[in-house]
Amino acid sequence: LKMDHTTKFKKVDTISVDPLSEDPDEFIDQLVKSTQTRHRHQVKQISPLPLDTPMKEGHTRFVCISDTHGEHRKLESLPKGDVLLHCGDFTDLGKQKQVEDFNEWIGSFKDFKHKIIIGGNHELSFDPKIVAEVRRRALDRTFCWYEYINKIPPAITDDWPKVLSNCVYLQDAEVSVNGIRIYGCPWNPEFGGWGFNTKRGEDLLSKWNKIPGDGIDILMTHCPPAGFCDQVEHYQWEERVGCVDLMNTVQLRVQPKYHLFGHIHEAYGYVTDGQTNYINCSYVDRKRRPCNLPVIFDFPNPPDA
Ligand code: 5GP
Ligand code: MN
Ligand code: MN
Ligand code: MN
């Protein structure tokens, strides 16, 4: 028995690279211009549940945070819940000390039955490509701007799930809680050569293509999809930087109830397209100040769980 889920958009099995993959602003403009597609960008603000809302019988309470950037200890308390979710950028550079401290911190919350996290572009040591590059440069002693990563012992970078012993680390992987299916992955559009940076278009789409299309309830990515909580503020204008192919994947193929992410700090917020609730739960704000509240929601337990 599948639970009730309003699907507003016709579901497809395959997503092709969007012709406007590289230009999220133009992609959204084009969607809105056509009467055939404008319904895909009817974005409604929704207010998150007040943090003191009593837990509901027959539901699983999720507490969502992201982008703590090593400042997790400033979050002195967290709302009570069954599952804690973190959408990446839990460190500054993925250094061993910070990863260990984060693990210890997350381990101190005994009330959560499950703690689930993904990496972000700041978890440099979790990205095998960057780790390999650093090692190569260290060997031939050429300059590498990732030089700080040399301080991360190889044993740690090769075995990160063991360092994060107090939570479940998802990388292109799925976990079920009370029959609720959660999938997570760290990939994000190239920007400055950081961890899990991936080219827009085919390369990123190949990562999103790994997300199962048969009923994921909660999707965790580090980066936002185009059009939902993805605006960067410049001095005079705003620019969308979310992933176009992720937006197509979420709205047309995966159709989860919730899509959680962070990465674009200034776009912290909670919106819906009438099918999926999109939550940017970045803890730090545009000036990297730790200040935003965690976001909570209650997910009805599937009847056959
Ligand atoms: P972080 O370094 O924590 O991943 O991202 C910090 C900030 O960098 C974001 O809040 C956003 O202002 C900016 N940023 C991150 N990714 C992009 C991107 O792809 N394009 C632009 N223009 N800014 C980005
Ligand atoms: Mn643009
Ligand atoms: Mn961040
Ligand atoms: Mn980020």
Residue 271: give its domain's CATH number: 3.60.21.10
User: Which pLDDT does position 154 carry in this prediction?
Assistant: 47
Domain with 104 in it: 24-49+61-125+166-300
Mutate to test the pocket of ligand 1, among 187, 222, 232 (most ligand atoms within 8 A of CB): 232
- The answer to whether position 276 is within a domain reads yes
- The answer to whether position 186 is within a domain reads yes
- The answer to whether position 157 is within a domain reads no
- The answer to whether position 152 is within a domain reads no
Q: What is the pLDDT along the chain (305 residues), one digit of tens a residue?
A: 444 456 799 999 999 999 999 999 999 999 999 999 999 999 999 999 999 999 999 999 999 999 999 999 999 789 999 999 999 999 988 888 889 999 999 999 999 999 999 999 999 888 888 877 777 776 776 666 665 555 554 444 556 767 899 999 999 999 999 999 999 999 999 998 899 999 999 999 999 999 999 999 999 999 999 999 999 988 889 999 999 999 999 999 999 999 999 999 999 999 999 999 999 999 999 999 999 999 999 999 999 75
User: Which pLDDT does position 129 carry in this prediction?
Assistant: 86
Q: Using a 6 Å CB cutoff, which residues line ligand 1? A: 67, 89, 121-122, 189, 191, 232, 239, 241, 263-266
- The answer to whether position 142 is within a domain reads no
User: Ligand 4 centroid to 300 CA: how many Å?
Assistant: 30
For every residue of the chain, DSSP letters joined together read: -PPP----S---S--PPPTTTT-HHHHHHHHHHSTTTGGGG--EE-PPPPTTPPP-TTEEEEEEEB--TT-GGG-------SEEEE-S--SSS--HHHHHHHHHHHHT--S-SEEEE---TT-GGG-HHHHHHHHHHHHHT---TTGGGGGS-HHHHHTHHHH-TTSEE-SSEEEEETTEEEEEE--EE-SSS-TTEE-TTHHHHHHHTTS-SS--SEEEESSPBTTSS-EEE-SS-EEE-SBHHHHHIIIIII--SEEEE-S-GGG-EEEE-SS-EEEE-BSB-TT--B-PPPEEEEEEPPTT-
- The answer to whether position 305 is within a domain reads no
User: Which pLDDT does position 6 carry in this prediction?
Assistant: 66
User: ipTM, 2 decimals?
Assistant: 0.97
